[in-house]
Every structure is written in structure tokens, then in C-alpha cells.
Amino acid sequence: MIVQSLIKKRMEKLQSRLFRYFVSESPYTYEQFVVNLTDEIKKFSGASFCAIYLLDEWKGWFQIHSKDRYMRESLRSHFSLHDLYTQTPNQSDLQHIINVKEVGSSLRVTSLHSGGNVFGYLVLKGVAAIHMQEDLLHAIGSEVTKCIKKIEGFYTSMEEEKKYELLYKVTSHFHSSIDTDGVLKEIIETLRKTYRDFQYYLLLSNDYTKDNDLPVRELTYDIDFESSASTQAYLTGEVQMEDHLVEKRSILYAPLKGKQGIYGVLKVVTPGYLHFPKKDIEFFIFIANTAGKALENAQLYQQSRKLNSDLQLINSTSQKLNSNMRLTEKIRYMAYKIQQSFDAGEVGFVTYEEPAIPNVLEGSTEYFASSDSRPLIHYVKESISHQEGPLFIGDLDAKPIEHVLPYRSLMAVPMKDHEHISGLAIVLQKDPYFFTFESFKLLQSLVAHSTLAFANSILREKLEKAVITDYLTKLHSRVHLDQCVEKHVKNDEQGSLILFDIDNFKNINDTYGHQVGDEVICQVADIIKAVIGNHGLSARWGGEELAVYLPMLPSEKAHDLTEMIREKIAMSTSPAVTVSCGIAPWKAEWVRPTRKQIVQQADQALYKAKSSGRNRIVTAHPIKERS
């Protein structure tokens, strides 16, 4: 009892001194505190030397702590768990393990254990140590254990507080920001502040960042991907660890997990072989999961913005295409929007009024207006017909196209009118694998929304053409000619209206039939179109009568063209026919006539030509005053 009481008093004294060190103003680190602890135990026990070996969980060995540098050099700086497991850990064996040089037999060693696990050893040397009672040695070891565990808990709490304070700041920023680069930067900075000796890499499954300062690498599949720890971490969503024998370092891979998926892997590289403690693994998992959720939020935000932008593009394009624009203007606008939105090189729209003949719509980009595009258009049509759906090609060089193409990336979407493919939208870029699948899906939506607008424009312009075009001769209608003459008379300074009448046309019908009569009218119409060209506007006036209006041409030029037409008709028609012609010239300097006055003058001139022998030209007297 007396011995136990003395030991208790001595322990209280030791506790008092240790407490004073603990509350000292000096901001000790954990390692410094342990070193100072050995000095206190040395003074307390009367030993000539004191050291404490503590288990370093990272390195998997017991590391020495002592103030006595000379004796530290005489003992092993560390010994591994393997050294212990291969021998029976009694005192003599431990002396053998920790001895580097001959230090005599004056060492005393006792284990430090907590919860049944040995976490260190207390080593004393000297006469006082040799004669120390076993109970006192164990008591000192027990007191040292309590002290170290309390100090360890204190410093661990401080470290954990710092770590999670950093994490709190990072997490707060994650939830208030959708800046992916900012998120990734804070992840790396937090890790570097927490574990300064490690290297960190972010292996990402997508191109999340354009910041070259970030340690981002592409997550790739190794040839033997089953054995790749990074691949396994990405595929399984579980932490993976491996040791690199050549580089002599350990690596941890933590998946960046969000709620909807895994977005990459955090790679942690140690400077040597290390064992990752459970609490530190949990920290890496926590920060990796936080990063995964942040990346997911950023991605979802970007996707929502992209979706909103896509909807705005589709809506604005649809509104524009459904306006009263001409077809060519719509095609040109659509090609521009696709070039702008997808950074496309060329955009073409092709229709098939006849199954085998492509018609490149005016407004497509320059490449599609050239004959060089024909082999590509043929290949796209055949491919789409074969697979009955849109075409997405990353590299055209790998496709069987005879003609050498200046373009590598292709997107092609069929334009369907009531489930019938009536045309194609083709988008090209010179670089291979340029377009994303999201761009491909957006193009399909744009084409689907634009096809009806194109079809309506084509139909409307066909109807307009039908209204102003004579169905038999394909010349303009009399109504359209009247409207044009009305406009020109108001705005021009001169012009001429010419009326043509096929001579003795009734005899043609009676002799050859009405079908031949129609063919004769068409022959005459073709000659008129060929001679007039771009000089004027030709129309069917009615029955076997045809008309031409020549704006801004002097009357002499109008007469020459009329004479050329008359001669060609007499020479080229079969069965041969002739025409009588009446010309009504006008000039604003004489008087600006009305359309009715010009028509009346031309009609009177035609009547004179027919009544004076036919197959001739009569020019009406100029209108110089209003009737």
C-alpha cells in the first residue's frame, strides 16, 4: 500500500508537470509536445535517456521521439510492424529491435497501448531505469499513454477543425457558385493546405475545364482496364488504392460522386509508400463526394442554360421562319443561324422534287452551290434512305465517298413532310469529330421546326407562280403583265407594249386539231422568250395572242426585237405560221399615259397590221396628250 501510494503521488506530480506543459503559452506541435514529454519523464524517473516510439499510421512504422540527439543516433529511428510480427515482442526482443549500436543492457522498454492496441513504446536508459520497479514503470507507461492520448485527441480535434473549416468554406462556395473552374480550384487548394506533401490530380470523364493551371487529366481506360485502379474507382464508385513499385509511392483514387452519377476521380499521390489511415480516407471520400456534387450542380446548371438557350434559338428561329419571308431568305437565315450556333463551315438544304434529282435550295452556303458537293449529297441521301434516320459522322475520311472532300465532320437530318422525306439539311466542318451529340440533337429539333415553314413557302411560291403564269405556255399571265405595266408607267421614263397575234390560227386548229394548235402557241411563246431574254416581260394575252412589255427601251430597239421575233416565227414554227405585231411606245417627256391608253394603242396597231395583210409590224403614233 505504501509503494502504491508513493507511485500515485509521483504520478500526480508528473501529471501536474505535464499539465503545465500542456497549457504553456508555447504553441507546440504534436511532435514537439511528445519530445518535451520525453524530457519530463527523463527528469521525473532519473533516467539518463528517454525516448518514445509512436506508431505512424501513414508510414506503418514506429517513429522515435527524443530530445537526446546522441542517443537517438544510437537507436533505430524507426522500426516496422513487420519487425514486430516476425518476433515475439518481449523486452529483450524489443531491445534487439531498437538497438542500432551497442548501448549496453541498461534499457527498459514498456508498451503503450489503448483499447487493446499497442500504439507505442516507452524506452528508458540508465541505472535508475534498471532498478525501477516494474509497477512504477507500468504506471509511468500508463500515465504517458493517458497524456499522449489526450494530447493526440486535442491536436486531432484541432486538425479536424481546420480541415472541416476549410471544407465548410469550400462547400459554402460550391452551393453559391456554378463556376466549375472555381470549384475545382478550391478542391485542390483545400487538399494542399491539409496534406502539403501530397500531389493531387483530377481525372475527369468530360471536358469540364479550360484552366491550364489546374492539375486536370483526362480519365482514360487502360488496355487492361480491369486492373486499373482509377478505372475501377470510376466504374464501381468505391475508393481504390495501389502501390507503385517503380516510383515507390502509394496512390489513392476517390470517385467524384454526385447524386446522379460519377463525374471523375480524385487521384492522391504520396511521396513514398504510405498507409492511408481510416479517418484520412474518410476525409478524401468526403471532399471527393463534395466535389462530385459541385461538378454535378455546375453541369446541371450549364445544361439548364444550354437547354434554355436551345429553346430560345428554336423559338426565335421558328418565329422568323413563319413570317412572310421568301423561301430564299428563310434558307439563308437558317444557314446563318446554324453556322452561328454550331460554328459550322457549310450548311446546305436540298429538296427532291424528283426522286433522283437533288435541288440545292438558294440560300445554302457556297460549297453546296458548286458541283463538288454532288458526290457528298448523293452519299448522304443513300445513307439516310438506308438507315431511315439522321446521319452523324465524326470523320468522313473513313467513308466510301469517291470524291475527295475538304470536310471531315458531318451532320445530316432528313426534312420530312407528312412522314415522307422531301429533302435534307446537311451541316459540315473541316475538323474531324467537331460536332457534339448535343449539337446533333439540337439540329434535329431545328430542322423539324423549320421543315413545315419551308414546305409552306415552297407551296405558297408555287401558287404565286401559278397565279402569274399561263399553264400552257409558261409565260406570265395577262393579269401579271397588266400589274407590271401599271408599275412601270408610273416609275419609268419610257417603254413599249407589243401585242402578237398568230395569223390564220383558226385554220391551224381546223386542219391539224387543237392539240397541234396548242403546240404552235407554245412554239411562238418559246421564240418570244428566247429573243426577249432579260430585256422585258412576256405574257399570254389570250387565245392565240401574246404580249411583251419592254421597259426603258427606245422605240427603235423595241421595233428591232419585234422584227427579229416575227422573222424567227415565220422560219422556225412547224406547221409554219406568221404573226402580226402592234407596238405602242411611250415617253414621259411626251406625256405619261395610263396603262389603258397604252393597251388601246397597241391593240389598234395590231388591228392595222392584221387588216393590212398580216405578218407585219405596225407602230402606233406616240401618245402626246391625254384623250
Is-contact 334 320, C-beta < 8 A?
no
* 3-state class (DSSP) for residue 216: strand
**CA dist., res. 61 & res. 56, Å (int):** 6
**What is the number of other CB atoms lying within 10 angstroms of the CB of residue 369?**
13
Cis peptide preceding 575, ω within 30 of 0 = yes
66: which 3 cell numbers? Answer: 527524443
Q: Which position among 186, 296, 346, 544 bears the catalytic label?
A: 544
**CA dist., res. 611 & res. 503, Å (int):** 11
86: which 3 cell numbers? Answer: 516476425
* Amino acid found at 493: E
**CA dist., res. 273 & res. 565, Å (int):** 101
40 part of the active site: no
Pairing mode of beta strands 617-619, 579-587:
parallel
Element (H, E) at 329: helix 327-342
Is-contact 208 180, C-beta < 8 A?
yes
Looking at residue 410, what DSSP letter applies? E
3-state SS of 149-165 is HHHHHHHHHHHHHHHHH
Please report the DSSP string for 556-571 in residue order.
HHHHHHHHHHHHHHHH
Q: Please report how many Cα atoms fall inside a 13 Å half-sphere around the Cα of residue 457, on the Cβ side.
A: 19
Q: How far apart are the first and last CA of the chain?
A: 150
Q: What phi and psi, each to the nearest 5 degrees, are found at residue 495?
A: 175, 175
Is-contact 510 464, C-beta < 8 A?
no
**CA dist., res. 475 & res. 255, Å (int):** 74
Is-contact 605 618, C-beta < 8 A?
yes
* 3-state class (DSSP) for residue 618: strand
Residues with a known catalytic role: 544
